Every structure is written in structure tokens, then in C-alpha cells.
Chains A and B, each alone.
With several copies, the nearest count.
Chain A
Amino acid sequence: MQTQLRLAGTGGQGQILAGIILADAAVTYDVKYATQSQSYGPESRGGASRADVVISDEPVDYPKVIEADLLLCMSQEAYDKYAKDTTEDGIILVDSTLVPSYCNEDPRVVACPITGVARDELGRIIVANVVALGLIVELTDIVSTEAVRKAVAARVPPGTQEANLRAFERGRSLINECLTPGKTSGE
């Protein structure tokens, strides 16, 4: 079994760190195989940012996402560019704080005000990526909650562990407040 995840948005939102945490959880704590890769612009900075994670029970042959089983969109551009490369029964997790326009008829779409929650409830916009991780763990079960917790603690900057673990838990609970297709956009 192989799962392809793509976390996409704008540089600085922490997609790459989130991807690393997922892969780390799988590899180090869950004893699976995983690869994490990212796209670079020509100047390796600024602009769009994308992390691809492939998690599998056997060695991974191709580290990029061809069709995502789960796509996280933290910018309009990300949604516009990648939504079409999601599997038929995949999940498109939309940060409704940052993506004003998405197809809420699409059964794959799950929309949550991820960044809004990080900013307004947690007081730190920077933890939005870890909020998203909480959602991802709930939406899929490719990695265990415990493994992600450990990986978060190991990978976030020293001194921010607690805030991030809180963000993770908040993300997990956020699942209940998410908009599923048919409803209207969050904000």
C-alpha cells in the first residue's frame, strides 16, 4: 500500500516542515517507508512551495506525487494547480482562510479555516502547518497519532514544542468543524 500526499502553499508557511514531520513519523516511529521531496523554483526561494510525501509498506520507487491521495492547499494557486492531480477517492484539504475559491461540489474537498484557527485561537499563524497535520492524521490513517506527536516534538524549533503539540491536537479536533462539500466556504 502506498499513499501519496502533497502539501502545497506559499513559501514560509511550513509545508516542507510538515512534510518532513509526516515522513519522519512514518519512518522513525511507525517503521514504514517514506520519501519526502519538495519543489524548488529556479532560485530556490520565494513563491510557491510544495512538499511531496510518499508513505508505503515497501521501498518507494518514485518520490514525487503523481496523483495525490491527500492534497493540502494553503494558497489559491496551490488549489488551482494541483486539485486536478488528486485521485478519484482522494482528499483535498483546503485552508479556507487562504483559499477563497474552491469547488464545494467536489466530494473530495474538505475545507477548514486552518490558518484562521492558528491565528485567532492559537495566536500564532506560524503553527497553521501543524494544525493541518492534526487534520491529516484524522482524515487518513497512514501514520499513527503517537508517531506524529513524537516527530513534531523532535522537529519543531526548540522552545516551540508545546505550542506545536497544542496546535496538533487542535487540528485533530478541528475535523469536526470542517466543511464538507455542499456547504459554503468558511470565511
Chain B
Amino acid sequence: MNDKLKAYFRTDHLPHIWCPGCGNGIVTAAIVRAIDDLGWSKDDTVFVSGIGCSSRAPGYLDFNTLHTTHGRALVFATGVKVARPDLNVIVITGDGDASAIGGNHLIHAARRNIDITTICFNNNIYGMTGGQYSPLSPTDSFASTAPYGNADRTFDLCRLVEAAGASYVARGTTYHVTPLTNMIRRGLEKKGFSFVEAMTACPVYFGRRNKLPTGVDLLNWQRDNAVPVSRAAKMEPEELAGKIVIGTFLDVEMPEYTETYERLLKEHAADRSGE
């Protein structure tokens, strides 16, 4: 293991529980590289996750780490951040964790524009529970609970989070790992709510049922179907069907929640002088 990386890992807990070819390790390493680039202190950084294969990542990282309940990572993270605005708070979540049971907390954290970076490991499936479809599984794809194909339509999660009010929104893949690392770094730097959707690979459950049975197959699939956001802008919706649009969708400066709260308290300092 790379020594630089090693400094951020709880190496005594490796190898991790993820299956051979699972993309989760690729994203986890990308996060660590981004943090290393920024020189953040491990003591001042908190990782919070929900439940799922991906949500196991913080356990391997030598930071303050909090593995919560399914879908709720962002609410715990909000408590941490509001109580200690000086800490860096990063949420690791899966596509199901973030967008199914946790969808409400995601849009509300984005709406508040609270300074938390959320990295969603999107493997298009519920991995931990054995391959049921998630809100990010493609329509018509197969899953253990979609034996006749998935009737649900798919969230464009980046678009949703943007509409909800985030400051930074991007999508990368485990194939395009350097751009992914850069997106994560930009997300971490951003004051406000940032969201990076990392397309990752679950060969065991998503892949096998959908004719992409290995990690290599899934990385090839990512490579072959990725379309940069600039190019996608010029394409018709039909051309874009089945493609993965990657790149930065939004990168703006907006008032951050904990700062607005402080500002309002200052403005109304007189009102609260009493008692």
C-alpha cells in the first residue's frame, strides 16, 4: 500500500469486506487522495455514513468516524457540523442510502446549503442486502426484486440535488479516477453543500444480473458510456439514453447555513441580550 495513503487508513482492519472487483475501494482511495492534497488534519475531520456496503468505508479510515442508521448519515452529520462548525464533515453514502430511505435528508441538507461534502457511491443497486433495485437502477434493468425488469424510473440525482439548492454538484466514475479525485477535492474545498456522485461497480449483484459480471466489465461499461457534461449539452435526450453524463454540473458561491445562522444572531444581538 502506498505510504501516503497508508497514513490515512486503519490498516489493521484491511483487507476490507468488499468483494473482488467492487469499485468501493477505488472511490475510498480517491477521497483520501483528495484530503491529502488539501492537507486536512485527521483530527479535525469527521466521516459519517449510513448503512450499506459503501457506508462501511469510514471504518477503514483513520479519522473521527461515525457509522449511523440506514439513510440518516446526513442528519447526524448536520448535528456534528452545527455543534462544531470548525470541523470538516464528510458523508459517505450509497445510492440506496442517499436516494431511497435518505432522500429527504439529502435534499434538505442541500437546501440549507450546510457545509458538508457528500460522496454518493452509486453502484445502481442495493449491494449490502443482496441486489434489490434502487432508485438509481436503470428502468428495465434486472434485480432480485425486479424479476420482470424494473418499472421504476431513475433519479438524475445530480439534477435533484442541484434543484434542491446545493453549491457544488458533480458526477465521476471509478474508471475516470483522476477527474473523480479532483471533483471530490473541489467538493471538499467548497463552502456549502457539495455533492459528488461516484459511479462505482457492484459486479456481484448489479453486474451479474445485467451481463457485466466483473469489475473489469463494469469499468469498461463506464468508459464506453461516459459522456462529458459539455458534450452532453449538445446531444438529444434519445442519444443520451443509457449514457453516464460526467463532469461538474454546478459550482457556485452561496450563503452557507451555519454562517447565515451566525449572521442572523449578530444582526439580532439586541433581541437576545435579555435574560
Contacts and interface: CB of A to CB of B under 8 A. Distances in A.
Interface of A: 42-46
Contacts of A44: 128-130
Interface of B: 17, 19, 53, 128-130, 204
A46 B129 contact: no
7 contacts: A43-B53, A43-B128, A44-B128, A45-B19, A45-B130, A45-B204, A46-B19
Given A45-B204, A46-B17, 5 more contacts: A42-B17, A43-B17, A43-B128, A44-B128, A45-B19
Nearest 6 pairs of A and B residues by beta carbon = A46-B19, A43-B17, A44-B130, A43-B128, A45-B130, A45-B204
Nearest to A44: B130
Contacts of B129: 44
A126 to B, nearest CB: 13
A42 B130 CA distance: 12
Nearest to A12: B204
A43 B19 CA distance: 11
A45 B132 CA distance: 14
A45 B203 CA distance: 13
B130 A46 contact: no
Nearest to A42: B17
A43 B128 CA distance: 6
Contacts of A45: 19, 130, 204
B204 A46 contact: yes
A44 B129 CA distance: 7
A102 B129 CA distance: 35
A172 to B, nearest CB: 29
A95 to B, nearest CB: 21
A46 B53 CA distance: 12
A46 B16 CA distance: 12
A69 B240 CA distance: 59
Nearest to A158: B274
Contacts of B17: 42-43, 46
Contacts of A43: 17, 53, 128
A82 B60 CA distance: 30
A45 B206 CA distance: 14
Contacts of A42: 17
B207 to A, nearest CB: 13
Nearest to A41: B17
B25 to A, nearest CB: 14
A63 B53 CA distance: 30
Contacts of B128: 43-44
A43 B17 CA distance: 8
Contacts of B204: 45-46
Nearest to B56: A43
A44 B128 CA distance: 8
B46 to A, nearest CB: 24
A44 B132 CA distance: 14
A175 B234 CA distance: 67
A43 B202 CA distance: 14
A157 to B, nearest CB: 13
Nearest to A46: B19
A26 to B, nearest CB: 21
A45 B53 CA distance: 11
B202 to A, nearest CB: 10
Nearest to B129: A44
A46 B205 CA distance: 11
Nearest to A47: B17
A52 to B, nearest CB: 20
Nearest to B22: A46
